[in-house]
Amino acid sequence: MDDLKQYLTDRAAEVDAALDAFLPKARQRPATVHEAMRYSLFAGGKRLRPVLCLAAAEACGGDPDAALPSACAVELMHTYSLVHDDLPCMDDDDLRRGRPTCHKVYGDGMAVLTGDALLTEAFLVLSESSPTRRYPLAAFVAELAITGGSTKLIGGQVMDLEGEGKDLTKAQLVKIHEAKTAALLTTSIRLGAMSANATDGKLESLSTFGHALGLAFQVIDDILDVTQTTEKLGKTAGKDEAVAKATYPAILGLDKARKEAHRLTKKAMSALEPFGRKAHRLRQIAEYLLERDY
Position among 41, 48, 113, 268 found at the interface with a second copy (CB under 8 A)? 113
Q: Which one of 24-32, 47-55, 93-101, 242-250 is the stretch in contact with a second copy (CB under 8 A)?
A: 24-32
Burial of 163 (0-12, 13-18, 19+ CB in 10 A): middle
Q: Which one of 28-36, 59-67, 228-236, 255-263 is the stretch in contact with a second copy (CB under 8 A)?
A: 28-36
Written as one string, the DSSP assignment of 235-258 is S-TTHHHHTT---HHHHH-HHHHH
Position among 137, 174, 226, 252 found at the interface with a second copy (CB under 8 A)? 137
- Min dist. Cβ of residue 97 to a second copy (A): 21
Q: Is 94 in the site for a second copy (CB under 8 A)?
A: no
Question: How far apart are alpha carbons 219 and 253 in whole angstroms?
Answer: 11
Cβ pair 7, 281 in contact under 8 A: yes
Cβ pair 194, 71 in contact under 8 A: no
Q: Is 119 in the site for a second copy (CB under 8 A)?
A: yes
Residue list 159-218, contact with a second copy (CB under 8 A): 159, 161-162
Question: How far apart are alpha carbons 186 and 211 in whole angstroms?
Answer: 6
Position among 11, 47, 78, 84 found at the interface with a second copy (CB under 8 A)? 84
Question: How far apart are alpha carbons 216 and 236 in whole angstroms?
Answer: 21
Q: Pick from 21, 79, 20, 55: which is nearest to 285 by CA?
A: 55
Q: Is 93 in the site for a second copy (CB under 8 A)?
A: no
Q: Is 108 in the site for a second copy (CB under 8 A)?
A: yes
Q: Which is nearer to a second copy, 177 or 283 (CB)?
A: 177
**End-to-end distance of the chain based on CA atoms, in angstroms?**
18
Q: Is 138 in the site for a second copy (CB under 8 A)?
A: yes
Q: Which helix (H) or strand (E) holds 24?
A: none
Footprint on this chain of a second copy (rule: CB under 8 A): 24, 28-30, 32-34, 37, 80, 84, 87, 89-90, 107-110, 112-113, 115-117, 119-121, 123-124, 126-128, 136-138, 141-142, 144-146, 148-151, 154-155, 157-159, 161-162
